[in-house]
Amino acid sequence: MARFIVFGFNENGECGRGDYKQKSTITKVQNITDVIDVSAGKNHTNILRSTGEVLVTGSNMFGELRTK
């Protein structure tokens, strides 16, 4: 099982932890498992799971999360 660990400013929730608190140390994200790939921009993160599910977190100011 792949782990998903994060750190960073997290102003827009881009760390995917459900909060906006800065992560200055590496932190494991709970409830996100089977991660096979991750891509990130300045204010967002895309997470690909082995099931084919794609999770997106962070800012959507410019439509980068593709929620529509």
Q: What is the pLDDT of residue 45?
A: 83
Per-residue pLDDT of the chain (68 residues; tens, 9 = 90+): 556 677 678 787 777 777 777 777 777 777 788 888 988 888 888 889 899 998 888 887 777 666 65
CA–CA gap between residue 6 and residue 28 (Å, rounded): 6
Q: What is the pTM of this model?
A: 0.67
In this structure, how many other beta carbons lie within 10 angstroms of the beta carbon of residue 57? Answer: 23
Q: What is the pLDDT of residue 14?
A: 76
Q: What is the pLDDT of residue 12?
A: 77
Residue type at 62 in one-letter notation: F
Nearest CA to 31 among 12, 13, 55, 10?
55
